[in-house]
Structure 1
């Protein structure tokens, strides 16, 4: 497996991996001969690519032995508080189902966090499983005085601080604009 920055030629493969990773197991639509709609994560990724919050340097793919895309992760520009302190929102993270459970997601998250830290970013926020993301140093956002866009997210809204983090960064987190439509 190789982790590298996404290129323009990866876009279709990334969309396919994201769609496969988040596909619903419900096959009721298949019985009618129609294709199920694209998962919201694939549609979100399409919208993120064309928004002001897209950061190409923080979009990574994992490739398999034959160079095929087997996973993807992205961080986009977010903000914290009324002064709109710069931050990042992680996601979506996707690994093709045939490659899940093999450390692909782990490698992708480590790569994007390392790059974000190297670029001088202060923190990364995400909505996800505390059991999974805790291994990367993510903690409940409330521990840092950062509130989720939706209070119902509770402990699933998490923050990972990076080297440039300042404890004065507090307040509501705001994802890149396309997340508002999910």
Structure 2
């Protein structure tokens, strides 16, 4: 795979992780726990990697992420599952930095959709048939927004990866993504 394609996947994974980190912060607030900075550290490492600096093995941060993963049976926050998905996504990004296996980025996109799926299910009536529930989730505003966001992020990552002014466009795109994520 060419470098441009790898950069597109890496940017897409980074931006998905930043989105998921927001839900981890909601969990941390609900449960009065720490850990958001560890996920932020992973995001910083990815950004540093995009700038051309390579890190060795990230065993310490990987261990911190293992400790950070919430047990869904032990917490009451509606964001517990999303927090677990964010921690898993951060671990997967560390693996991506080592292997450059783009299938790992697809796993992160799946985790992001799974998080939204769980949140949407909480808002939908329990008395639906399985087919009606799947349809309701697929058409739920949260899921429609998530799918739209992922499409936008993938397209933007492709634009930046193919840019003649990579660093300038990366700064612009990061600001654009941050603004959209905060909506």
Q: TM over 0.5: same fold?
A: no
TM-score by length of 2: 0.26
TM-score by length of 1: 0.26
RCO comparison, higher one (Cα < 8 Å, 6+):
2
More strand by share: 1
More helix by share: 2
